[in-house]
């Protein structure tokens, strides 16, 4: 990877190395900003790195494209489905040279919704086809990649079951319901919930067509309309106290939101639209997070540039321990502000001590002359704060305090970190929370900003407030994103140091 990637400019290299683990699209561009190639990935960082790791094994045309590439634009999205649709629309928008060279028209895929013909095709199918015909069916596409498209329909089918077999299915009567078929035994798809078995007269034509058309509406970009209809239906069941049916519809709504998160499947979705969506999501996530944390309004409010810093420790049994600080500004990750810390204390597997050292080095120059003579005692093996002051080499970015600190860990890590803020006189200035991995729980110190709150309070369970951010909420995605980035950034630095130490031993 080093030979081809090292030939690129520094900005290009950093974009590849620091690419996200989220799904998304990537656009290779030449030195004039013209798009050479558009691709999509379920995990962006794995895909873009693979080009350089496997450079010699790539098709000659892709090698030529990489040789010309001067820049890369990375667009993160929230689902593989969104990446799929965005890739198709970006190819249509920019018509990149190398997409045209690598994929001819016959390799594109269309989603075909067969035409309903009463008494002939009462239960129309949804198919993936290579060619668009003038047969009265409705087609969506074309899509350059068949496999993820198949995955999209598979997920939608869990919400809206439909028929895929070739059985004869003609509805003869409504009451009683009778379907004429050449095989009335339900197949496996019925038993796993992907088909409602009209072959066994278990579903009417009208009910089937309703779901068939719902899937079609997704491909027309009408997701919100579908959700609104379901919500009205759920409300109707609730009014008559049919809570079981209401719960089924509620779960279906949640599934739709999760499977097709933030998607508008139409020709207007491009990099600009996605960028605007992301800005709105980040704003929503910050507002949700601030509301859920319930810190005093004067301590945590939505500033023009809201800065979050997240801290994580990486080590194996105390060897080559490192600390990582990642930063978000207004909900967007800011890699240029990330910082890594090589832990200087004893190589003992003590995450609490390591966190304290890292935070001390980060904040010791702030109000250093007003450190309080408190009764709080740091961990025994933490050396004097002055040892970490590093006044001759203070990072300029450290002059801007965060609006919120997130610690990767639970109550122990949170309380240890709070002690540093207390000693530096910052405990009444910067809100701090912990994010525990196991259940994605958020912890805060209930009375952090109370005047009589000090170390002795940390011994009591009631001093911690446990907060469960709503599942699949923008606020949870936000804290997970910066925490996962801190872990990635830290483990990368740790592996580098570990490799260097092994080389020295040899």
Preceding omega of 16 cis (within 30 degrees of 0) = no
pLDDT number for residue 200: 94
pLDDT number for residue 380: 38
pLDDT number for residue 453: 58
Nearest to 35 by CA among 71, 81, 74, 86: 71
Lowest mean pLDDT across 204-208, 241-245, 265-269, 312-316: 265-269
pTM: 0.57
Rounded to 5°, the CA angle 123-85-252 comes to: 55
Question: What's the token pair of residue 169?
Answer: 């299915």
Question: How many angstroms separate the Cα of 168 from the Cα of each of 121, 219, 328, 498?
Answer: 9, 27, 57, 64
pLDDT number for residue 316: 58
Q: What are phi and psi of 18, to 5 degrees?
A: -100, 20
Summarised one tens digit per residue, pLDDT across range 46-67 is 999 999 998 988 889 999 999 9
pLDDT number for residue 371: 37
Nearest to 101 by CA among 38, 30, 32, 8: 38
Question: In sequence order, what are the beta bridge partners of 117?
Answer: 121
**pLDDT (mean) for 266-271:** 59
d(CA 171, CA 181): 9
Helix (H, G, I), strand (E, B) or coil at 211: helix
Question: What's the token pair of residue 82?
Answer: 């969104």
pLDDT tier at 262 (50, 70, 90 boundaries)?
Answer: very low
Summarised one tens digit per residue, pLDDT across range 381-428 is 444 444 444 444 567 788 888 999 999 998 989 999 998 988 888 888
Which residues have C-beta within 8 Å of that of residue 263, sequence separation ≥ 6? 79, 81, 82, 85, 218, 223, 269
Nearest to 476 by CA among 425, 429, 436, 423: 436
Helix (H, G, I), strand (E, B) or coil at 355: helix
d(CA 281, CA 275): 10
pLDDT number for residue 270: 67
pLDDT number for residue 377: 39
**pLDDT (mean) for 318-331:** 85
pLDDT number for residue 375: 37
């Amino acid at each position: 990877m080093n030979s081809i990637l090292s030939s690129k400019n520094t900005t290009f290299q950093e974009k590849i190395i620091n690419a996200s683990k989220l799904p998304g699209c990537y656009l290779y561009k030449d030195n004039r900003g013209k798009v050479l190639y558009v691709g999509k990935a379920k995990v962006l960082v794995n895909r873009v790195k693979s080009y350089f790791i496997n450079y010699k094994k790539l098709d000659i045309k892709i090698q030529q494209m990489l040789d010309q590439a001067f820049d890369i634009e990375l667009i993160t999205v929230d689902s593989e489905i969104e990446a799929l649709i965005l890739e198709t629309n970006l190819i249509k928008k920019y018509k990149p040279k190398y997409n045209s060279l690598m994929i001819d028209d016959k390799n594109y895929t269309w989603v075909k919704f067969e035409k309903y013909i009463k008494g002939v095709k009462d239960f129309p199918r949804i198919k993936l086809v290579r060619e668009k015909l003038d047969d009265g069916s409705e087609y969506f596409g074309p899509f350059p990649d068949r496999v993820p498209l198949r995955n999209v329909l598979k997920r939608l089918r869990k919400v809206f079951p439909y028929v895929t077999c070739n059985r004869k299915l003609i509805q003869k009567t409504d009451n009683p319901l009778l379907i004429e078929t050449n095989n009335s035994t339900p197949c496996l798809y019925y038993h796993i919930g992907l088909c409602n078995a009209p072959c066994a007269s278990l579903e009417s034509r009208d009910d089937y067509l309703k779901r068939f058309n719902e899937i079609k509406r997704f491909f027309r970009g009408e997701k919100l309309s579908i959700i609104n209809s379901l919500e009205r239906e759920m409300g109707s069941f609730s009014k008559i106290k049919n809570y079981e049916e209401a719960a089924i519809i509620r779960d279906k709504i949640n599934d739709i939101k999760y499977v097709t998160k933030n998607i508008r499947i139409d020709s207007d979705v491009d990099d600009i639209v996605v960028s605007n969506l992301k800005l709105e999501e980040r704003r929503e996530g910050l507002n949700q997070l601030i509301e859920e944390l319930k810190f005093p309004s004067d301590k945590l409010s939505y500033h023009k540039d809201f800065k979050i810093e997240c801290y994580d420790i990486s080590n194996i049994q105390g060897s080559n321990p490192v600390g990582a600080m990642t930063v978000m500004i207004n909900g967007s990750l800011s890699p240029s502000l990330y910082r890594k810390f090589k832990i200087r204390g004893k190589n003992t597997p003590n995450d609490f001590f390591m966190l304290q050292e890292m935070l001390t080095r980060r904040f010791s120059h702030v109000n250093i002359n007003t450190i309080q003579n408190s009764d709080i005692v740091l961990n025994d093996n933490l050396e004097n704060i002055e040892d970490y002051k590093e006044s001759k080499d203070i990072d300029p970015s450290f002059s801007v305090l965060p609006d919120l600190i997130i610690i990767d860990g639970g109550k122990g890590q949170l309380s240890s970190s709070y002690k540093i803020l207390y000693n530096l006189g910052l405990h009444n200035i910067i809100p701090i929370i912990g994010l525990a991995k196991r259940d994605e729980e958020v912890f805060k110190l209930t009375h952090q900003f109370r005047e009589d709150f000090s170390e002795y309070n940390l011994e009591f369970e009631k001093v911690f407030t446990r907060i469960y951010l709503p599942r699949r909420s923008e606020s949870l995605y936000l804290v997970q994103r910066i925490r996962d980035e801190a872990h990635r950034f830290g483990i990368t630095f740790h592996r580098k140091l570990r490799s260097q130490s092994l080389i020295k031993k040899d």
